Amino acid sequence: MNKVYVSNAFSLQMVARENMSRVTLHPIGGTPDIKNMTSIVGHADIAKVLGVDMNRASVTLERGDCVYVAQLVGGRLPEGTTTLPEGFRLEWVCVEVSEGEPQS
C-alpha cells in the first residue's frame, strides 16, 4: 500500500537512493484533504495552522509514496500562531516517487 504524508518541507534525504528512480513535483491549486494523511510536520506552529499533529519523524519514501508539502510563503510565522496572519499563505506541492528510470 502506498503511503501518503503531509509535511511542511521536503528533503532528498526522504527518498531512498535505490528507489529514487523518479521524483515528480505537482503544484496543487487549493488545499488537499489532509485529514487522513500521516503528519510529518516538524514545525509546531504550522502543525497548528494545518490542524495536524506535529511529528518530527524521519521517513523514507518508496515508489508510489507521496508527500503533500505545505510551503509557507510570507516570512516566518510569529511564535504561537494558530491561524495564518495577513500576508501569509500556504502553497501546496505534491511530491511523488514513481516508477521509471532517471532522466538525464
Where residue 31 sits, what CATH number does that domain have?
Answer: 3.40.50.11170
Residue range of the domain that includes 75: 4-97
Domain membership flag for residue 102: no
Mean pLDDT of all residues belonging to the chain? 90
pLDDT interval class at 62 (50, 70, 90): confident
- Domain for residue 76, yes or no? yes
pLDDT at 43: 93
Tell whether 31 is covered by a domain: yes
For the chain, how big is the Rg over CA atoms in Å?
A: 14
Residue 22 domain-assigned (yes or no): yes
pLDDT tens, residue by residue, 64-97 = 899 999 999 999 988 998 999 999 999 999 999 8
Kindly report the length of the chain.
104
Domain-located, residue 33: yes
Q: Specify if 103 maps to a domain.
A: no
- Residue 104 placed within a domain: no
What is the tally of structural domains in the chain?
1
In a domain, 44, yes or no: yes
Q: Interior CA angle at 52 toward 8 and 57, to 5°?
A: 60
pTM: 0.88
